Every structure is written in C-alpha cells, then in structure tokens.
Amino acid sequence: MSEGFEIKSADTLENSPHQRKPAEVADIVRIQQNLVEHFALIKDPRVERTKKHQLRDILVIAILAVIAGAQGWEDIENYGISKRQWLEEFLALPNGIPSDSVALASLRASDTFRRVFEFINPEELNRCFLRWIETLVTKMGGEIIPIDGKTIRGSYDRNQGKSALHVISAWASEQNLVLAQMKVEDKSNEITAIPALLELLDITGAIITIDAMGTQTEIAKKIIDKKADYVLALKANHPTLYRQVEQWFEQASAQDFQGIDVSYEQRIEKGHYRTEIRQVWSVPVSAIGELYQPRLWAGLQSVVMVVRVRRLWNQTTREIQFYLTSLHSDAQLLGRAIRKHWGIENQAHWTLDCTFAEDSCRIRSFHSPRNFALLRRIALNALNREHTYKRSLRQKMKRTAMDNDYIIRVLSFCFLDSTLNSSESFCQA
C-alpha cells in the first residue's frame, strides 16, 4: 500500500463548495492523514492490472460507511455513491467511487469492495486495529477488562462445510472500547486463544474477568505473569473444587459466617419493572482450609460467592455463582468487577447484534467475515468515543450517515488527537 493515496491540500478543501474555515480544513487534513497512516501497512491483495481504485480509498470508504450503519457490500457502495461529492474533498478517487465508471459499468461497486475484503490478510488488518487502539488507550491500571467469546451466527456456509466464525474479544469496561479480537476455530478452543489474546495487550495493573470456559490454571498464570489480577468464574467444569467451595459456603452461610474473616456487600437495583438484589461474600483462601490444589492457581488470594435474586412482575429467580480471584478479599471491589464483566455482553455483543445486525449478516466468503467483523468493532469504538451528542448509539450512527460535519467530529475523537507514537504503549502487537 505504498502508493495510491493522494493527500488533498488545504487549498483544495478551502475551495470546496462548503467553504470551510481554515481551522476546519486543517483538522480534516490531519484526520484523513492519521486515518490513512493507521491502515498503511495493509498489502493490496489485487494483481496490478485490476487496481482501478486505490486500496486506501476502498478502506476509508468502507470504514466510514460501517460507522454510518452499512451492513454489507451494497450498503458501502450506496454510501460511496451518495457521498461522492464530499468524499472527493479528501480522497484521491482517480476513477471515482469503486466501479462507478462507464468503463466498469458491468461490474458493481459492491463487487469491488467484496473482492478486496475477501482477500485482505485479516492478520494485517488486525495489527492495524491494534496500532490504532494503542493511540486511544494508554495506562490500564485499575481497568476492568472482560474477555468473552462471540459467534457470528450468519457467517456459516453450509455448502462449503464452513461453520460460523467464533471470535474472542477483550473489552475496556470503563472506556467502552474493544481492545483486541482474535479468531477461534471453535468455541472449545477459547482455552488456547485467550493466552494468545492476552499476549497482544499490556494489561499491567488491570483486572481481567473471564467466564467459566477460561477458568484454567494456565490462563491464571498468564495473567499473573503479565502483572494483572483475575476474577474467574468457577463452575462445574472443575467439579472437585466447585463442590468443595459450594459446600463450604453452604456451611458458612448457615452459621452466618461466625468467626470467619468475611467481606460482604449488598446492592439493590430497580428498573424496567425488575428488582435485582445482589449479595457478595468474599473470604481469603486461608479461611477455607484445605482447598483442592490451591497451588495450581497462581496468585489465588480469595474465593467469592454471589447471590442474585431477580424479581419480575410474574416470577422470582435466584442464582448462585462462585469465583476465584487474585485480589484481596474486598466484596465491594469484587462485586463491581463481576458486575462489569457483563458489559462485554450488554454493551459490546448485544450492540453488535442489535445495532450493527452482526448475527444476521450473511457475509461468509474467504476472509470477509473476519475483516467485516473488525470493521464493525472499529465503528463501535469510534461511535463510543464521541460523547458530545447525547443520544443512543443507533441515533449517533444515523446522524453520521446524514451529517458530514458530525462524522468528522466522530473521527476527530479517534484520529485527530491521537498519534502513532504514544508515550505509553498499550498493545504489544
């Protein structure tokens, strides 16, 4: 990608039909320069004779279109055609919008976008994503980082015998950002993929939360080696340890934890015709006595029990869960970390499905499912970074499609103030 992007000059933008102010022109130039630099390492997969359009133009249009709500190749094509006059202010577009020319009238623009993203190396795109995240996030001390997997259900291809794409992601709960993503061959392989995902990140001082699938001794050791702490859900996939912890808490609860060094917190939340009562008990490992193989769990300090009671208008449910953690016994901190773990489900996975329609997307050929999934996460991060427009993510997305100045504002929070040479390295790609 060493050639093919023409930087529009400030004079060109000042003479555009919008008659922008000099400060706005300078910002737009810096935004598009930074945007291009972040994705400059991607190699063009096309043969030379088919390069009618610059790869950087294709990438930028795709990113902008997905931020604006595009859910497939035709949506990206329509976005490019609809915004052509505006895009020409800062993109080279030597032959117009991809395939939007008389010479290529028989080839749809959406086919050009599809073919390019089918063969772009997803590892290269992922490395560019990590370099971009590095400019947004610096220190992670005290940040709660949930790690969880998600299956993109519509990406299967029955005719090709191809199962749906499964990815694991790391989520910065305080900053509402997807930090990293990694492909998993199938859900059971999360155990091997999680350490590889952790290797990409500098998690020093952070608190890593993982569901029962990732509650493994090697993962706990990896987190401790990376100078972070963990809160791992304990379920029946560790039957001996689970039964021991369950029985101990049953006995201790029956005696009201008398003579036990216990930390306790209770929270009551009401909303949407539902009342939820969450009680958290945490005790040091030493309080349990002969815990089953405690030395296998690097840094293990406390064991936690959480009881959730949900009262709806027609039913009441009660759920008990246990956790292993390298943190000191502090029910308030641990309850907050456990509660924040669901942020990756509610604020990332749910949003990707309901706002970006990820599960219903039928993009499934070659590398395109993985690459398009990463475009969605770029869009999610970009929209979450913009805080001045106090509306839902869906409304922010719609406004980016309608208002060119607003999408410039969204991009400014991601590509204007950030630099490629940040003082604190976050991602270790």
Tens-place pLDDT, residues 249-269: 999 999 999 999 999 999 999
Question: Does residue 100 have a pLDDT over 60?
Answer: no
207-210 sheet: strands from edge to edge? 177-184, 165-172, 144-152, 207-210, 229-234, 316-325, 302-311, 274-284, 263-271
User: Which comes out higher in pLDDT, residue 36 or 287?
Assistant: 287
pLDDT band at 20 (very low <50, low <70, confident <90, very high): low
Same domain, 163 and 290: yes
Residue 427 is assigned to a structural domain of this protein: no
User: Which comes out higher in pLDDT, residue 349 or 101?
Assistant: 349
pLDDT at 142: 85
Query: Taking residues 108-116, what's their average pLDDT?
Result: 84
Same domain, 18 and 72: yes
Question: Does residue 33 have a pLDDT over 70?
Answer: yes
| End-of-domain residue from the set 299, 316, 350 | 350
pLDDT at 12: 52
Between CA 323 and CA 267 the distance in angstroms is 18
Between CA 18 and CA 26 the distance in angstroms is 14
Same domain, 323 and 395: no
**Cβ atoms of 401 and 383 closer than 8 Å:** no
| End-of-domain residue from the set 350, 374, 396 | 350
Same domain, 281 and 396: no
pLDDT at 25: 65
Please, what sign has the CA dihedral across residues 346, 350, 352, 355? negative
Please give the residue range of the domain that contains residue 312.
139-350
Same domain, 97 and 181: no
Residues 340, 345, 347, 353: what is their CA dihedral angle, to the nearest 10 degrees? 180
Same domain, 122 and 146: no
Same domain, 326 and 190: yes
Residue 266 is assigned to a structural domain of this protein: yes
Query: Taking residues 372-385, what's their average pLDDT?
Result: 97
The closest of 227, 183, 212 to 341, measured between CA atoms, is 212
pLDDT band at 105 (very low <50, low <70, confident <90, very high): very low
User: Which comes out higher in pLDDT, residue 212 or 15?
Assistant: 212
Residue 274 is assigned to a structural domain of this protein: yes
Mean pLDDT of the chain: 88
Same domain, 122 and 153: no
Maximum Cα interatomic distance, the chain, rounded to a whole number of Å: 84
Query: Taking residues 204-209, what's their average pLDDT?
Result: 97
The torsion angles phi and psi of 381, rounded to 5 degrees, stand at -65, -45
pLDDT band at 108 (very low <50, low <70, confident <90, very high): low
Same domain, 147 and 173: yes
- Residue 106 CB contacts under 8 Å (≥ 6 apart), including other chains: none
pLDDT tens sequence across 224-238? 999 999 999 999 999
CB hemisphere CA count around 76 (13 angstroms) = 28
**Cβ atoms of 280 and 321 closer than 8 Å:** no
263-271 and 229-234 beta bridge pairing? unpaired
Residue 420 is assigned to a structural domain of this protein: no
Query: Taking residues 51-71, what's their average pLDDT?
Result: 95
Q: What is the DSSP string of 265-324?
A: EEEEEEETTEEEEEEEEEEEHHHH-S-SSGGGSTT--EEEEEEEEEE-SS-EEEEEEEEE
pLDDT at 421: 38
| End-of-domain residue from the set 322, 350, 378 | 350
The percentage of residues in the chain with a pLDDT greater than 90, rounded to a whole number, is 74
Same domain, 82 and 166: no
Residue 423 is assigned to a structural domain of this protein: no
Residue 305 is assigned to a structural domain of this protein: yes
Residue 306 is assigned to a structural domain of this protein: yes
pLDDT tens sequence across 310-342? 999 899 999 999 999 999 999 999 999 999 999
Residue 390 is assigned to a structural domain of this protein: yes
Burial pattern 395-428, b for ≥16 Cβ within 10 A else e, equals ebbebbbeebebbbbbbbbbbbebeeeeeeebbe
Same domain, 285 and 330: yes
Q: Using only C-alpha atoms, what is the Rg of the chain?
A: 24
Domains identified in the chain, total number: 2
Same domain, 262 and 156: yes
User: Which comes out higher in pLDDT, residue 110 or 68?
Assistant: 68
